[in-house]
Structure 1
Amino acid sequence: MKALLLAGGFGTRMRPLTERLPKPMAPVGNRPWLEHLIAGLKEQGIREIVIAVKHYPERIIDYFGDGRKLGVDIRYTHEPVPLGTAGAVKNAEALLGSRFVVINADIVHRADIRALVETHERSGAMVTIGLVEVADPSQFGVVEQSADGRIVRFVEKPPRGEAPSNRINAGIYIMERDVLQAIPAGREVSIERETFPSLIAAGHRVQGADVSGYWMDMGTSDRYRRIHWDLLDGKLELELPGRELGRGIRIGEDTEIAQGAMLVPPVLVGSRVTIGERAVVGPYAVIGDDCVIGRGARVTHSILWDRCTAAEAAQLNRCIVGSGLKIDPRHLLHEAVVNVIPEAETI
């Protein structure tokens, strides 16, 4: 079975981090989330992958190529204009098989795709939608189901307390090819507001199935932080580079930690990182590759992407710092989300 990964969104709620980066390429545990996602699909036997791209597509295509280095086959579709979720599926029609899985690539999850396929086959549905339960469904698309799991209607972002259930669309779908006939070509089409309701109205079975395992929408900087704290706490299990230095401390290759520096667990430090004397890193810190943490600097509850510098006596708390950025000596940042425009792109 093939997988279609929808990676064309603009990631507006995560700006400035996604200003020139597709949201699924944001690092999770010092590795692009999209790479984790593809590796997870491979583990479940899915090796033919189509990626729908639009926002800075070269960042994805240059990184993954044809997928050979990951042991999968990757092809790409480009959206000439924003097409919405269903429109992006329709745009990939020529590359899809008789049955396929569609995944919103900016959702961080460890879903059991095989279990969804089994439910799909048993129910005889045209579409099976992965569902998760949330405490507050007011920011999501909510479903109402019959006793046998069939979806009877969708309610988009209902007011708090008025939702028909707490089950929301997890952004993971098992689809039969016939679904593509219900999607008009060449225009923006919403899969929740247009495609799925039209299938239900026509009498086709749209099934809902609970997704087991970790799930989190990476849509905001707060959720992005939470994903990393869950990773450090072991709630999200991903393959991470480096080695365990102590309980809750993992470091990469060729990383140098000066005498008197402190790593306070949980913490993840990448490769070729330099941590200066009396610096404190952690708790809840993720440091990317090739970073420099200066003498006396302190980095807590923060995520630094690759090639960052926290100079002498700088202090960062609850920050997210984009690749290549330098925090000057003795600067204090609290709950900051900062990024830089690459020099070649400076206007």
Structure 2
Amino acid sequence: MNGVILANGLGTRMRPLTNDIPKSLVPVAGKPLIERIIDHMRDNQVRQIVVTCGVKGQQIQDYLGDGERLGVWLHYAASPDDPLQLPNTAGEIAKAAPYLTPDEPFLVVYGDTLSGTNYLQMREFHERRKATITMAGLWGIPVGTSHLSTDDLGKIVSWEEKPTLPLLANIPEFICEPRLLEDELVGYGRDFSSEVIPKYVALGQAYCHVQPGNYHCDIGTLERLEQTEALLAAGRIPPGTVLK
């Protein structure tokens, strides 16, 4: 199975770490984020990978090279080194299309995501369901603020510090059928999550694979980077962890 890593993010919420390097090269416990993603893909037999990159993207290419030292084969779908010309997420997938194997499902992973998803199991699920899009999911959404309830007089009757809601959260990892690339929504300036996915949900062609014991760390802010590094320093990221 081919893979696509969307590595075009500007990393504005991770400044000053991203003042001079792209978000994908920010070290996470001593290893660049994108290298951790590639290691996980390789361990799940995803070895032909397209990296989409733009602003500061040459640094990504210089660091990763052809992927040989990581045990994979890398291609690059480059956009202009200009924050005003970013293709958006669906546009990045469209740019990766020429490097993908025809007539074969492909994996899309957002470039700020760490997870424990078993992509082999996810593909089996995808093929059994005959889905167009299968996304990874995980139960439990953390709330960044305290939750409380009151009676009619305004007296607080319950309080919970930053609870986890019993809802199914999406991990931004997707297995897609190649026919998806023919959709006009998969093009420059289009957003995969807000435009493409809702269409296939409405068509009944989108599924969610929930893997027991999975975790999801969205390395999109300095706070979540620090939290993830603390977990890795302790030995591993515990099952069920959601940093989002």
TM-score with structure 2 setting the length: 0.80
Which amino acid is the alignment partner of residue 180 of structure 1?
L
- The percent of aligned pairs where both chains have the same amino acid is 29
* Higher relative contact order (CA closer than 8 Å, sequence separation 6+): 2
In the alignment, is residue 130 of structure 1 matched against residue 136 of structure 2?
A: yes
**Could you list the per-position Cα deviations for residues 291-323 of structure 1 after superposition, in whole angstroms to 9, with x for gaps in the alignment?**
xxxxxxxxxxxxxxxxxxxxxxxxxxxxxxxxx
Aligned residue runs from structure 1 range 25-40, under 5 A: 25-40=25-40
In the alignment, is residue 193 of structure 1 matched against residue 194 of structure 2?
A: yes
Shift of 1:55: 2.1
Q: Which runs of 5+ in 2 are unaligned?
A: 146-161, 239-244
Quote the residue 1:333 is aligned against: none
Which amino acid is the alignment partner of residue 64 of structure 1?
L
Quote the residue 1:83 is aligned against: 87
Shift of 1:169: 1.9
**Could you list the per-position Cα deviations for residues 51-84 of structure 1 after superposition, in whole angstroms to 9, with x for gaps in the alignment?**
0001201111001111112221100001242122
Shift of 1:187: 2.6
Aligned residue runs from structure 1 range 1-347, under 5 A: 1-80=1-80, 81-97=85-101, 98-136=104-142, 166-184=167-185, 187-201=188-202, 203-211=203-211, 212-236=213-237
Distance 1:186 1:205, change over 3 A: closer
Distance 1:214 1:185, change over 3 A: closer
Q: Is the 8 A contact 1:128 1:206 kept in 2?
A: yes
Aligned-partner SS, 1:130: strand
Distance 1:171 1:230 in 2: 20
Distance 1:177 1:12 in 2: 32
Aligned-partner SS, 1:4: strand
Shift of 1:186: 5.1
Q: Is the 8 A contact 1:21 1:55 kept in 2?
A: no
**Could you list the per-position Cα deviations for residues 150-193 of structure 1 after superposition, in whole angstroms to 9, with x for gaps in the alignment?**
xxxxxxxxxx99x9x62222110000001112244653111121
Q: Is the 8 A contact 1:87 1:183 kept in 2?
A: no
Task: Tell me how large the CA RMSD over aligned residues is.
Answer: 2.3
Comparing 80-89 and 185-194, the one that deviates more: 185-194
Q: Is the 8 A contact 1:183 1:189 kept in 2?
A: no
Q: Is the 8 A contact 1:21 1:59 kept in 2?
A: yes
Distance 2:184 2:237 in 1: 35
Q: Which runs of 5+ in 1 are unaligned?
A: 140-159, 238-347
Which amino acid is the alignment partner of residue 115 of structure 1?
Q
Distance 1:213 1:186, change over 3 A: closer
Which amino acid is the alignment partner of residue 221 of structure 2?
T
Distance 2:46 2:26 in 1: 23
Distance 2:232 2:12 in 1: 24
Aligned-partner SS, 1:171: strand
